[in-house]
Amino acid sequence: MTTNVAESLNKVLKECREFPLISMLEAIRMSLMGWFVKRRAKHAAEINPLTSKVRDIMDEIFLECTKMKVIVVNQNEFEVYDSSGVRFEVNLQSKICSCREFQMLLIPCCHTMAASSYGQIDNNTLVGEVYTTGFMRSLYEGVFHPVPTPVSTGESELLPPIMSRPPGRPRKTRIPSRGEFKRRSKKKAVRLCTRCLGRGHNRASCKLPVKDK
């Protein structure tokens, strides 16, 4: 089982799962509101057109492309040779490279960056829109408003549903999903009787004859 977004959110909301329904929803709203406020402020202060993580990746890739040889085919197509002499075909207009089996590139590879540097093209224009600062700002434009509390007029009173509490203690542990297994607990230490040197009981409950030590 891999850790996905649902499992991460489930861990954050572990405590509020024991709350009543309205209180649990309010706790979820407060958590989401706090996350959106922090990330909205973070991306609003960003002045670079790309996010910080993408810039770090591109800086590492740029160091690899300085040793490559670039041959111009036309305005958008280039042939790039690495240090071992292997040839790669790059199309800057389509943002594809033969090193990725001619798939669209969201982040330019070292061959694409070598071709763009030779053709004096800004590397930021080769990055996919989903990694731009403007796109990240649009993700957190939404606002979580509080749910208005209805004002009681005294004409009717909302009562809890008529029901009896089920027997037993309420469940606190999460029900495992399909394909998920519980962790095996450590084996308990076996009791050793100091009277008969037997196993599985202690001196107080021993009914066997005394054994010489």
pLDDT tens figures, 90-103? 888 888 888 875 45
- Flag whether 149 is in a domain: no
CA distances from 130 to 96, 126, 152 (A): 17, 12, 47
Q: What residue numbers bound the domain in which 16 lies?
A: 12-45
* Domain total of the chain: 2
- Pair (57, 108) in one structural domain: yes
Find the helix or strand (DSSP H, E) in which 57 lies. Answer: helix 52-65
Is 118 within 8 Å of 25 (Cβ atoms)?
no
Q: Is the pTM of this model over 0.95?
A: no
- Pair (38, 81) in one structural domain: no
- Flag whether 206 is in a domain: no
Per residue in 18-29, pLDDT tens? 888 888 888 888
Residue 179 pLDDT grade (very low, low, confident, very high; cuts 50, 70, 90): confident
- Pair (74, 93) in one structural domain: yes
